[in-house]
Structure formats: structure tokens, C-alpha cells
Amino acid sequence: MNGATFEADGQTVEEARTSALAQAGVPEQQALVEVISTGRVAVPGERITGASARVRVQPLTPDVLQAREHLEHLLDLMGVEAQVSVTRPVQPDGSPAAADGPLALLVDGPDLGVLIGWRGESLRALQTVVNLMLRPVAPSSGTPRVIVDVAHYRERRERTVTQMALRLAEDVQRTGRTIMLDPMPPYERRAVHMALASQTGVTSESTGVDEGRRVVIRPARPASAPGGREADWN
């Protein structure tokens, strides 16, 4: 989904942004703009030299632009006043997601609880609808072409699930007992697997089907035993 990126320096963020957009040859509405440095400090995960501002610009592909248009149209039909921006998802540890992964459509505005729903059910449905509308231009796969988040709910939920997984892993290590979590959507299960991937003494696997699929955390098996971690996304 992601294409070439263009970076530029400037005395200010605005100057660097203007220069990077000029290199990319696209208006700001058709690009993902990321501030690497404000001229004083770098954002997490980035290295800079000198004190100049630095901005990275990535032209948005047709499917992302269409996804944003679809989402804005759906919100308009629902009578929801909100703004939709394209961002790069943030990992539970605060680092940016991989450059070759799906981008996120972030919905911001007042009173957006109706878009989230109970335990994020409405949000997941909204993401499914947007991605289904993209089928004519994007092949179907297990990974959504775009992620939809509302008021950073998904981002906050991933952090919460990650912290919970680490606490439960400590219990498993201490007691030697297996713990089965409540059913979770795929992206939450993925957050658990990622959180425990580097933990010694425990292993995680997904079990069950459809809405009843959940994560099991158990004491680690011998290295020769097959594992059960999966890369859940949506």
C-alpha cells in the first residue's frame, strides 16, 4: 500500500513540510505528513543531526484516498460531524508501525461513542464496511487495506491489552498454570502475541472460532514443540 517517501529540512516545520510536498509533487490533502523533528528534538524512533526541522511526506495511494472518501461519505450519511485524517498506526510501545503495513484512518470529533460501540463492536463493523467498499481496487486478504480508529480508541485498547497480557504472563510464570482470556477481536489477540513474543517462560496461542476466538497463555513448551502464535490484524 505504501509508496515512495520524501524528506526535507527547514528552519521551521512548515518550511520543511512545504519543501517535502514540493518534492513529492502532491497537495497535502493527498499525502501522509510525518514530522521527524521540530528543530529541537526528534520523534521516538528517529535520529536527526543538527537543529533543523525535518518532515517526511508519503503520497497516498488511490485505495487509501478512496477509503477516506468512503468513510467521510458514511459519516455524512450517519449525520456524524467529524474529521478524517490519514495516520500511521502506533504500536502499543509507542513506536510507529512498519512502513509497509496498512495506514489508519483516524476519526476525530465530539461525541463519537456511537462509532465505537460496546467494546469497539461498531468500530470494527465500520472498518469492515470501509474495506469491503475497497474490493474493486484492493484484493481481499487477511489484512485490512486500511485500519479505522475513532478518537484513538483502538490505540488505547491495544496498550491496555498489552499491559494486561504482561501481568497475566507473570501469573503464569509464577503459578505454572494456563490462563485463557476472554474472546477478543483479531487486532487485540495480535497485541497479546506481540507483547509475549519476547517473554521467556510463557507462550501464547489462539484457539476457538469466529467471535469465540481467544488467546491462551501457558507455560512455555520445549523449544522443539510447535508454537501457536499468529499474526492477527483486524
Q: Cα 231 from chain centroid?
A: 13
Same fold, 6-152 and 156-219: no
Q: pLDDT tens, 104-128?
A: 999 999 989 999 999 899 999 999 9
Mean pLDDT along residues 84-97: 80
Average pLDDT, the chain: 86
DSSP string, 100-150: TS-EEEEEE-SS-HHHH-GGGHHHHHHHHHHHHHTTTTS---SS-SEEEEE
Q: Please, which pLDDT band fits residue 44 given cuts at 50, 70 and 90?
A: low
The domain spans of the chain are 6-152, 156-219
pLDDT in tens, 188-199: 999 999 999 989
SS (H, E, C) 42-99: ECCCCCCCCCCEEEEEEECCHHHHHHHHHHHHHHHHHCCCCEEEEECCECCCCCECCC
pLDDT number for residue 8: 94
Query: pLDDT above 90 covers what percent of the chain?
Result: 67
pTM, two decimal places: 0.78
Contact 211, 185 (CB under 8 A): no
Say if CB 102 and CB 67 are below 8 A apart.
no
Q: For residue 111, which of 140, 79, 134 has the smallest C-alpha distance?
A: 79
* pLDDT for 159 beyond 90: yes
In the sheet that 6-10 helps form, which strands lie side by side, from edge to edge? 6-10, 53-59, 31-38
* Residue 183: alpha-carbon gap to chain centroid: 20
Element (H, E) at 38: strand 31-38
**Band of residue 39 on the pLDDT scale cut at 50, 70, 90:** confident
In this model, does residue 96 exceed pLDDT 80?
A: no
Assigned architecture for domain 156-219: 2-Layer Sandwich (3.30)
User: Does residue 32 register a pLDDT over 60?
Assistant: yes
**pLDDT (0 to 100) of residue 55:** 93
pLDDT score at 228: 46
Q: What percent of the chain stands above pLDDT 70?
A: 82
Query: 140 or 213: whose pLDDT is higher?
Result: 213
Gyration radius of the chain's alpha carbons: 20
- Region 80-107: mean pLDDT is 83
pLDDT of residue 224: 46
What are 62-78's pLDDT values in tens digits?
999 999 999 999 999 99
| Cα 233–chain centre separation | 9
CATH number of 6-152: 3.30.300.20
Give residues with Cβ within 8 angstroms of 200, minimum separation 6.
Answer: 220
Sign (positive or negative) of CA dihedral 211, 215, 221, 225: positive
* SS3 state of residue 158: helix
Grid cell for residue 128? 469492515
Q: Which of 64-73, 83-92, 157-166 has the lowest mean pLDDT?
A: 83-92
